[in-house]
Amino acid sequence: MGCESSKLASCCWSGQNGPVHEVQNPDDEERAEVSDLPTFREFTVEQLRISTSGFAVENIVSEHGEKAPNVVYKGKLENQRRVAVKRFNRSAWPDSRQFLEEARSVGQLRNNKLANLLGCCCEGDERLLVAEFMPNETLAKHLFHWETQPMKWAMRLRVALYLAQALEYCTIRGRALYHDLNAYRILFDEEGDPRLSCFGLMKNSRDGKSYSTNLAFTPPEYLRTVAQEIVLILVHLLDFNSSPEMNMINIINIAK
């Protein structure tokens, strides 16, 4: 499956004359701040039910898990803003206070390298997140499921740069940990630029564990996992023959 928009296709896929967007100066952190987004807010379940047409199956963007998946829907608010709504399974966040604290903290982040968190819903046993909608699919789709030509080197390098800038921004803002970093967490916006999903900044607390965002208190085994996730994404970006089945064991074997 190829890119859905021609603008994205022109900068993603190999070709002779496709335009490449200028990469923003990585030192210019001030201009990376986003000022035209609404402030973080809390929604009701009914508002989000209406925005997703009753959590309609046809609006499902992705889902995770087997028995009780956390589902992401595309939707539209009353002001016509397009959003992504993540609905957690009912056992994911038993502590409503912790959920609200996490969501409000992540919701303070505003950066053009992120798919920013716009709001949340904590009503009864419902836990939902509302983020900017990214219409041009995930990095995983464009790396692993292309039909004609692979992604351009310029775009691959841009993905790596923007990912690094997004993670640096989150670290500076006190959200130093990103959970389950993979190619499905990197999305493409309307302009064809890569963004890092804000959903990975929140820890699913179903198992009762919630690691501190302060790296000084992070378990060593968790740091190793984060490093492996970043290495895996970089390998996928550098390898035109990469596939979603490649994992750290494959990388180690290749390196031998």
Distances (CA, A) of 170 to 113, 165, 179: 10, 9, 12
Distances (CA, A) of 104 to 41, 81, 183: 8, 20, 25
- Give the DSSP per-residue string, 134-147: -TT-BHHHHHHS-S
Cβ atoms of residues 102 and 92 within 8 Å = no
Helix, strand or coil, per DSSP, at residue 249: helix
As annotated, the active-site residues are 180
Nearest-CA neighbor of 44 among 90, 22, 77?
77
